[in-house]
Amino acid sequence: MNYNVFETKKEASKAAYELMKSLLKEDSILGLATGSTPTDLYEVMIEDYKKGNVSYENIKSYNLDEYVGISYDHPESYHRFMDDNLFNHINIKKENTNVPDASAEDLDEAVKTYQEELDNTQIDIQILGVGGNGHIGFNEPGTPFEAGVHVVDLKQETIEANSRFFDNDINLVPKQAVTMGIKDIMKAKNIILLAFGENKKQAIKQLVEGLEVTTEVPCTVLKQHPNVHIFVDKEADFKN
């Protein structure tokens, strides 16, 4: 595991991008995250694309998760997040991008389809954020490491943390999501985990310094992955 600390989110995101770029091939498959964590990384990706340094023409992507119960044109849906923060600004083909179809009428079928797609895919570079409670994707504490794509009931702390995107009103925050499972995340060749802010410090401490691999802190499973690169700002640095 490779642990990198930077003064700011921007600096950490730039460094993460440099690593990502060194791993990126013309036809790479990316695993992508949403939320506040990857926004600067996506900005840097867009900037570099606009300079003509990289093309996404033959790149595919799979997102970690999507809320159940809000439409894809809702400003906080992860479909919309990806369009607004990345896909609409680079030359990735929309048909090569994949986000769980959590608004499907038949959710079980949608889960099965996403699982089949992931089972036939090798993600080259997986971008991850982490929840204050250690969740990765929306694999909340207690999720078995063998879990694949599934519908998850979000924990109260996750609903509260995400209410900042929903006018600080927990009643507006979706209570369920479809997420890739931990086994799907662990299949990626390379994992780049970003964490910013004081409320991530404890999860990062348990991941980097702790000895225990436990479903109670899902990110600790990454100790068992051979290629994990962690980029944090000084607020999330557990040594700070």
Of the candidates 40, 66, 85, 135, the residue annotated as catalytic is 135
Pick from 204, 197, 201, 240: nearest CA to 222: 204
Q: Check if 73 is active-site.
A: no
Q: What is the CB neighbour count within 10 angstroms for residue 21?
A: 14
Q: Which stretch binds ligand F6R (CB under 6 A): 7-15, 107-115, 131-139, 201-209?
A: 131-139
CB of residue 14 to ligand F6R, shortest distance in Å? 17
> Does 136 participate in binding ligand F6R (rule CB under 6 A)?
yes
CB of residue 1 to ligand F6R, shortest distance in Å? 18
Do 174 and 68 touch, CB atoms closer than 8 A?
yes
Distance CA 84, CA 219 (A): 27
Q: Check if 233 is active-site.
A: no
> Does 35 participate in binding ligand F6R (rule CB under 6 A)?
yes
* Residue of minimal Cβ distance to ligand F6R: 129
Instruction: Enumerate residues 50-89 that contact ligand F6R by CB under 6 A.
Output: 64-65
Pick from 192, 223, 195, 225: nearest CA to 208: 223
Q: Which stretch binds ligand F6R (CB under 6 A): 18-26, 27-35, 89-97, 181-189?
A: 27-35
> What token pair was written down for 194?
């970003």
Q: Check if 135 is active-site.
A: yes
Token pair 């662990």: residue: 186
Of the candidates 40, 65, 184, 237, the residue annotated as catalytic is 65
Count residues contacting ligand F6R (CB under 6 A)? 13
Kindly give, in sequence order, each residue whose CB lies less than 8 Å from that of residue 213, ignoring residues fewer than 6 positions away: 220, 221, 223, 224
Token pair 């040594």: residue: 239
> Does 163 participate in binding ligand F6R (rule CB under 6 A)?
no
Do 18 and 125 touch, CB atoms closer than 8 A?
no
Which residues does the annotation mark as catalytic? 65, 133, 135, 140
Which residues would be at the binding site for ligand F6R (CB under 6 A)?
33-37, 64-65, 129, 131, 135-138
